[in-house]
Amino acid sequence: MRPVTTLPAWSIVFGGMMEYDYKEYIKESCKLLPELEGAIVLQILVNIVDPEFNVVFLNTDKGPFSLQGEMGSEYLGVRKLDLMPEQTNDEGYIICPYEPFECFVGKKIIQAHQIGEVWNGHGFELCFENIPEKTMIIQSIYTGDKPKEFEDCLRVGIGNYQFEYKKS
């Protein structure tokens, strides 16, 4: 069957069902990820549509970026912004700092890489200079198990790592 030409170049219809070339989508949506490497984080904000995390905003010395869900948060993408959003708390729509991420403000991102895969925890892990025991993790809510009432959103966290086994 011939592809339908009105759809994006990497969307193809077979037998009435939409098939996506997720590799192309992810390649396009993550092409700015390497730009984060070497950036100093000046500010971190999160967008919450109460109660769900929807976007992580990073203001850096290379400019502001958003880390956000694409196509219903099946996978994540990186976007360069003109300006950081204003902080707000407007009836369930919130943009604010996220206290656990404050330890990364003022730090240099030394590595930014993808983790997971489409529909299975796709996201990003950011590693910071002089903090080898912690990383920032932003993932799709679709990680194999999720709360039933949550859809199309992110899960955010900090990876805590140990390098040495200590006997108790």
Q: How many residues does the chain have?
A: 168
What mean pLDDT is predicted for residues 81-86?
96
Give the list of residues 6+ apart from residue 163 with CB closer than 8 angstroms, or none: 132, 133
Whether residue 135 contacts residue 123, with contact meaning beta carbons closer than 8 Å, is answered with no
Percentage of the chain exceeding pLDDT 70: 73
Residue 61 belongs to a domain: yes
pTM for the predicted model, two decimal places: 0.81
Residue 17 belongs to a domain: yes
Residue 168 belongs to a domain: no
DSSP 54-98: EEEEEEETTEEEEEEEETTTTEEEEEE-SSPPPPEEETTEEEE--
Judge whether residue 9 has pLDDT over 50.
no
Here the CATH number for the domain that contains residue 60 is 2.30.310
Residue 2 belongs to a domain: no
AA identity, residue 53: F
Distance CA 141, CA 53 (A): 9
Cis peptide before 64 (omega within 30 of 0): no
Q: Which domain holds residue 153?
A: 11-160
Residue 3 belongs to a domain: no
Tokens of 166: 């200590």
Residue 165 belongs to a domain: no
Judge whether residue 99 has pLDDT over 90.
yes
Tokens of 84: 């950081």
pLDDT for 2: 38
Distance CA 44, CA 101 (A): 7
What mean pLDDT is predicted for residues 46-68?
91
- Phi and psi based region of residue 85 (left: phi greater than 0; alpha: psi -120 to 50; beta: remaining): beta
What is the number of domains present in the chain? 1
What mean pLDDT is predicted for residues 117-136?
87
pLDDT for 16: 46
Residue 166 belongs to a domain: no
Give the list of residues 6+ apart from residue 13 with CB closer than 8 angstroms, or none: 1, 3, 4, 7, 19
> Could you tell me the pLDDT band of residue 121, with boundaries at 50, 70 and 90?
low
pLDDT for 37: 97
pLDDT for 81: 95
Residue 90 belongs to a domain: yes
pLDDT digits (tens, 9 = 90+) for 130-152: 999 999 998 876 555 555 665 56
pLDDT digits (tens, 9 = 90+) for 35-47: 999 999 999 999 9
Cis peptide before 51 (omega within 30 of 0): yes
pLDDT for 59: 98
